[in-house]
Protein backbone atom coordinates (compact mmCIF):
# COMPACT_ATOMS: atom_id res chain seq x y z
CA UNK A 1 0.00 0.00 0.00
CA UNK A 2 1.05 3.59 -0.64
CA UNK A 3 2.35 5.22 2.54
CA UNK A 4 3.77 8.70 2.05
CA UNK A 5 5.00 10.10 5.36
CA UNK A 6 5.02 13.75 6.43
CA UNK A 7 7.43 14.61 9.25
CA UNK A 8 6.55 17.78 11.14
CA UNK A 9 9.18 19.35 13.37
CA UNK A 10 11.85 17.93 11.07
CA UNK A 11 14.50 20.34 12.35
CA UNK A 12 13.66 19.70 16.00
CA UNK A 13 15.52 17.75 18.62
CA UNK A 14 13.65 14.50 17.90
CA UNK A 15 12.69 15.30 14.31
CA UNK A 16 16.27 15.51 13.04
CA UNK A 17 16.97 12.00 14.35
CA UNK A 18 13.71 10.71 12.86
CA UNK A 19 14.78 12.01 9.45
CA UNK A 20 18.06 10.15 9.83
CA UNK A 21 16.33 6.98 11.03
CA UNK A 22 13.97 6.91 8.04
CA UNK A 23 16.91 7.54 5.71
CA UNK A 24 18.93 4.74 7.33
CA UNK A 25 15.98 2.37 6.88
CA UNK A 26 16.02 3.14 3.15
CA UNK A 27 12.50 4.53 3.19
CA UNK A 28 11.91 6.91 0.29
CA UNK A 29 8.36 8.28 0.48
CA UNK A 30 9.04 11.00 3.04
CA UNK A 31 8.32 14.73 2.99
CA UNK A 32 9.71 17.09 5.62
CA UNK A 33 7.50 19.95 6.83
CA UNK A 34 9.53 22.97 7.89
CA UNK A 35 8.94 26.68 8.47
CA UNK A 36 12.31 27.53 6.90
CA UNK A 37 13.28 25.19 4.01
CA UNK A 38 16.80 26.64 4.03
CA UNK A 39 17.45 24.88 7.32
CA UNK A 40 17.19 21.52 5.56
CA UNK A 41 18.80 22.34 2.24
CA UNK A 42 20.93 19.19 2.45
CA UNK A 43 18.18 16.87 3.75
CA UNK A 44 17.80 13.43 2.14
CA UNK A 45 14.08 14.05 1.47
CA UNK A 46 11.86 16.64 -0.17
CA UNK A 47 10.92 19.58 2.03
CA UNK A 48 7.71 21.60 2.07
CA UNK A 49 6.80 24.84 3.82
CA UNK A 50 4.41 24.39 6.74
CA UNK A 51 3.59 26.64 9.67
CA UNK A 52 1.14 25.51 12.36
CA UNK A 53 -0.11 29.10 12.60
CA UNK A 54 -0.92 29.25 8.87
CA UNK A 55 -3.68 26.74 8.01
CA UNK A 56 -3.23 27.26 4.27
CA UNK A 57 0.31 25.85 4.54
CA UNK A 58 -1.01 22.83 6.46
CA UNK A 59 -3.49 22.12 3.67
CA UNK A 60 -0.73 22.25 1.08
CA UNK A 61 1.63 20.10 3.12
CA UNK A 62 -0.96 17.34 3.65
CA UNK A 63 -1.82 16.84 -0.02
CA UNK A 64 -1.14 13.19 -0.87
CA UNK A 65 0.03 12.34 2.67
CA UNK A 66 -0.92 9.00 4.25
CA UNK A 67 0.95 9.06 7.58
CA UNK A 68 2.13 11.94 9.78
CA UNK A 69 4.66 12.36 12.54
CA UNK A 70 3.02 15.12 14.54
CA UNK A 71 4.72 17.33 17.06
CA UNK A 72 4.00 20.91 17.99
CA UNK A 73 5.86 23.69 19.77
CA UNK A 74 6.10 23.89 23.54
CA UNK A 75 3.49 26.54 24.31
CA UNK A 76 -0.21 26.49 25.16
CA UNK A 77 -0.77 27.31 21.49
CA UNK A 78 -0.24 23.58 20.86
CA UNK A 79 -3.92 23.03 21.71
CA UNK A 80 -5.37 25.25 18.96
CA UNK A 81 -2.58 24.36 16.53
CA UNK A 82 -3.19 20.64 16.98
CA UNK A 83 -6.96 20.87 16.60
CA UNK A 84 -6.62 22.83 13.35
CA UNK A 85 -3.97 20.40 12.08
CA UNK A 86 -6.05 17.31 12.92
CA UNK A 87 -9.20 18.80 11.33
CA UNK A 88 -7.28 19.48 8.12
CA UNK A 89 -5.65 16.02 8.27
CA UNK A 90 -9.10 14.42 8.48
CA UNK A 91 -10.42 16.39 5.52
CA UNK A 92 -7.23 15.52 3.62
CA UNK A 93 -7.79 11.77 4.16
CA UNK A 94 -4.66 11.23 6.26
CA UNK A 95 -4.78 7.64 7.50
CA UNK A 96 -2.40 7.62 10.46
CA UNK A 97 -0.85 9.99 12.99
CA UNK A 98 2.10 9.21 15.24
CA UNK A 99 1.86 11.90 17.89
CA UNK A 100 4.81 12.87 20.06
CA UNK A 101 3.34 13.78 23.41
CA UNK A 102 4.61 13.79 26.98
CA UNK A 103 5.03 11.34 29.82
CA UNK A 104 2.43 10.35 32.37
CA UNK A 105 -0.60 8.18 32.95
CA UNK A 106 -4.01 9.13 31.61
CA UNK A 107 -4.81 10.90 34.91
CA UNK A 108 -1.86 13.30 34.51
CA UNK A 109 -2.48 16.63 36.24
CA UNK A 110 0.68 18.45 35.15
CA UNK A 111 -0.80 20.92 32.68
CA UNK A 112 1.36 20.32 29.61
CA UNK A 113 1.03 16.55 30.02
CA UNK A 114 -2.73 17.02 30.13
CA UNK A 115 -2.63 19.24 27.03
CA UNK A 116 -0.89 16.46 25.12
CA UNK A 117 -3.47 13.94 26.31
CA UNK A 118 -6.32 16.20 25.19
CA UNK A 119 -4.64 16.26 21.78
CA UNK A 120 -4.40 12.46 21.88
CA UNK A 121 -8.12 12.20 22.62
CA UNK A 122 -8.93 14.60 19.78
CA UNK A 123 -6.91 12.49 17.33
CA UNK A 124 -8.86 9.43 18.47
CA UNK A 125 -12.17 11.28 18.17
CA UNK A 126 -11.29 12.28 14.61
CA UNK A 127 -11.28 8.65 13.53
CA UNK A 128 -7.74 8.82 12.17
CA UNK A 129 -5.62 5.82 13.13
CA UNK A 130 -3.02 6.72 15.74
CA UNK A 131 -0.05 5.81 17.86
CA UNK A 132 0.70 7.98 20.87
CA UNK A 133 4.30 8.31 22.04
CA UNK A 134 4.85 9.41 25.64
CA UNK A 135 8.57 9.88 26.31
CA UNK A 136 9.73 10.18 29.88
CA UNK A 137 12.79 12.32 30.76
CA UNK A 138 15.16 12.97 27.87
CA UNK A 139 18.79 12.08 28.52
CA UNK A 140 19.76 15.16 26.52
CA UNK A 141 18.37 17.30 29.36
CA UNK A 142 21.46 16.25 31.33
CA UNK A 143 23.48 18.33 28.87
CA UNK A 144 21.27 21.35 29.43
CA UNK A 145 17.57 21.41 30.19
CA UNK A 146 15.49 22.19 27.09
CA UNK A 147 18.50 23.33 25.10
CA UNK A 148 20.22 25.45 27.75
CA UNK A 149 23.93 24.64 27.70
CA UNK A 150 24.47 25.10 31.44
CA UNK A 151 26.89 22.30 32.26
CA UNK A 152 29.67 23.03 34.70
CA UNK A 153 32.64 20.75 35.15
CA UNK A 154 32.03 18.37 38.02
CA UNK A 155 28.53 19.69 38.81
CA UNK A 156 25.20 18.23 37.72
CA UNK A 157 22.22 20.52 38.34
CA UNK A 158 18.47 20.09 38.17
CA UNK A 159 15.22 21.28 39.71
CA UNK A 160 14.05 17.71 40.40
CA UNK A 161 15.44 17.37 43.92
CA UNK A 162 16.13 13.73 44.77
CA UNK A 163 13.39 12.34 42.53
CA UNK A 164 13.98 9.18 40.52
CA UNK A 165 13.23 9.75 36.83
CA UNK A 166 12.82 7.34 33.92
CA UNK A 167 15.18 8.18 31.05
CA UNK A 168 15.16 7.90 27.24
CA UNK A 169 17.46 9.13 24.47
CA UNK A 170 16.07 11.33 21.66
CA UNK A 171 17.57 8.87 19.19
CA UNK A 172 15.55 5.97 20.60
CA UNK A 173 12.33 7.99 20.48
CA UNK A 174 13.04 8.78 16.84
CA UNK A 175 13.86 5.20 15.93
CA UNK A 176 10.72 3.84 17.52
CA UNK A 177 8.69 6.51 15.73
CA UNK A 178 10.29 5.49 12.43
CA UNK A 179 9.25 1.88 12.93
CA UNK A 180 5.68 2.97 13.69
CA UNK A 181 5.48 5.22 10.63
CA UNK A 182 6.82 2.63 8.22
CA UNK A 183 4.71 -0.25 9.59
CA UNK A 184 1.46 1.47 10.56
CA UNK A 185 -0.84 -1.52 10.90
CA UNK A 186 1.40 -3.09 13.52
CA UNK A 187 1.04 -0.07 15.78
CA UNK A 188 -2.52 1.19 15.31
CA UNK A 189 -4.19 2.16 18.56
CA UNK A 190 -1.10 1.85 20.74
CA UNK A 191 0.15 4.14 23.49
CA UNK A 192 3.89 3.68 23.98
CA UNK A 193 5.50 5.07 27.07
CA UNK A 194 9.21 5.54 26.48
CA UNK A 195 11.53 5.25 29.47
CA UNK A 196 14.11 2.53 29.84
CA UNK A 197 16.29 3.21 32.89
CA UNK A 198 15.54 4.85 36.22
CA UNK A 199 17.98 6.99 38.19
CA UNK A 200 18.01 10.15 40.29
CA UNK A 201 20.36 12.98 39.43
CA UNK A 202 22.40 12.06 42.49
CA UNK A 203 22.85 8.53 41.09
CA UNK A 204 23.75 9.94 37.68
CA UNK A 205 26.42 12.14 39.29
CA UNK A 206 27.88 8.97 40.82
CA UNK A 207 27.77 7.28 37.40
CA UNK A 208 29.53 10.25 35.79
CA UNK A 209 32.26 10.06 38.44
CA UNK A 210 32.72 6.34 37.85
CA UNK A 211 32.72 6.40 34.05
CA UNK A 212 34.66 9.61 33.41
CA UNK A 213 37.05 9.58 36.35
CA UNK A 214 36.04 13.13 37.24
CA UNK A 215 34.48 13.85 40.65
CA UNK A 216 30.90 14.93 40.03
CA UNK A 217 28.47 16.26 42.57
CA UNK A 218 24.76 16.90 42.24
CA UNK A 219 23.32 20.26 43.15
CA UNK A 220 19.53 20.36 43.52
CA UNK A 221 18.33 23.83 42.61
CA UNK A 222 15.20 25.57 43.88
CA UNK A 223 12.29 25.41 41.41
CA UNK A 224 11.28 28.88 42.58
CA UNK A 225 14.45 30.21 40.93
CA UNK A 226 13.24 28.70 37.65
CA UNK A 227 9.87 30.42 38.01
CA UNK A 228 11.50 33.76 38.83
CA UNK A 229 13.69 33.40 35.73
CA UNK A 230 10.56 32.82 33.62
CA UNK A 231 8.91 35.93 35.06
CA UNK A 232 11.99 38.10 34.68
CA UNK A 233 12.51 37.10 31.04
CA UNK A 234 8.87 37.35 29.90
CA UNK A 235 8.74 33.70 28.87
CA UNK A 236 5.49 32.03 27.80
CA UNK A 237 4.07 31.70 31.30
CA UNK A 238 1.29 29.14 30.79
CA UNK A 239 3.84 26.56 29.67
CA UNK A 240 6.53 27.72 32.12
CA UNK A 241 4.07 27.43 35.03
CA UNK A 242 3.42 23.85 33.97
CA UNK A 243 7.14 23.10 33.93
CA UNK A 244 7.49 24.73 37.35
CA UNK A 245 4.60 22.65 38.70
CA UNK A 246 6.18 19.42 37.53
CA UNK A 247 9.51 20.40 39.14
CA UNK A 248 7.61 20.96 42.40
CA UNK A 249 5.74 17.67 42.09
CA UNK A 250 8.93 15.67 41.57
CA UNK A 251 11.12 17.50 44.06
CA UNK A 252 8.44 17.20 46.78
CA UNK A 253 8.09 13.45 46.23
CA UNK A 254 4.54 13.68 44.90
CA UNK A 255 5.76 12.22 41.60
CA UNK A 256 8.33 9.43 41.33
CA UNK A 257 9.37 7.07 38.55
CA UNK A 258 11.03 4.35 40.64
CA UNK A 259 10.68 1.03 38.80
CA UNK A 260 8.99 2.66 35.82
CA UNK A 261 10.71 1.11 32.81
CA UNK A 262 9.11 -0.20 29.64
CA UNK A 263 10.05 -2.97 27.21
CA UNK A 264 8.45 -1.72 23.99
CA UNK A 265 11.66 -0.45 22.36
CA UNK A 266 13.36 -3.82 22.14
CA UNK A 267 10.15 -5.54 21.06
CA UNK A 268 9.60 -3.05 18.24
CA UNK A 269 13.12 -2.37 17.02
CA UNK A 270 14.90 -5.60 17.97
CA UNK A 271 17.60 -3.57 19.73
CA UNK A 272 18.30 -2.62 23.31
CA UNK A 273 17.61 1.03 24.20
CA UNK A 274 20.43 3.42 25.03
CA UNK A 275 21.65 3.21 28.61
CA UNK A 276 22.69 6.19 30.70
CA UNK A 277 26.24 4.80 30.74
CA UNK A 278 26.29 4.67 26.93
CA UNK A 279 24.88 8.18 26.71
CA UNK A 280 27.50 9.55 29.12
CA UNK A 281 30.37 7.90 27.25
CA UNK A 282 29.05 9.09 23.89
CA UNK A 283 28.83 12.69 25.13
CA UNK A 284 31.78 12.61 27.51
CA UNK A 285 33.40 15.65 25.91
CA UNK A 286 30.37 17.70 26.95
CA UNK A 287 30.67 16.62 30.56
CA UNK A 288 34.43 17.12 30.89
- pLDDT over 90 at 1, yes or no: no
CA distances from 3 to 29, 96, 120 (A): 7, 10, 22
Please state the pTM of the whole predicted model.
Answer: 0.95
φ, ψ of residue 56 to 5 degrees: the values are -65, -30
Containing H/E element for 191? strand 190-194
Residue 147, pLDDT score: 47
CA distances from 73 to 51, 100, 239 (A): 11, 11, 11
Residue 84, pLDDT score: 98
HSE, side-chain direction, 13 A CA sphere, residue 68: 29
**Residues 46-87 pLDDT 10s:** 999 999 999 999 999 999 999 999 999 889 999 999 999 999
Average pLDDT of span 37-50? 84
What DSSP line would sit under 54-122, residue for residue?
-HHHHHHHTTT--EEEE---SSTTHHHHHHHHHHHHHHTT--EEEEE---S-TT--SHHHHHHHHHHHH
**Residues 167-218 pLDDT 10s:** 999 999 999 999 999 999 999 999 999 999 999 999 999 999 999 999 999 9
Amino acid sequence: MKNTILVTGATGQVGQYLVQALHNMGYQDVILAVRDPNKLSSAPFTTILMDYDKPETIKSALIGIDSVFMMTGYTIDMLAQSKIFIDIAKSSNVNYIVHLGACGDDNAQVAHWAWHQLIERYIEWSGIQFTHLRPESYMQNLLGYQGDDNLQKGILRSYFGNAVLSWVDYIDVAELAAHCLTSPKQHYGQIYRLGYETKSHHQIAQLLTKELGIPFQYKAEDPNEFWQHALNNNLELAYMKSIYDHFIAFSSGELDRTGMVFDNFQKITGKAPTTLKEFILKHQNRFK
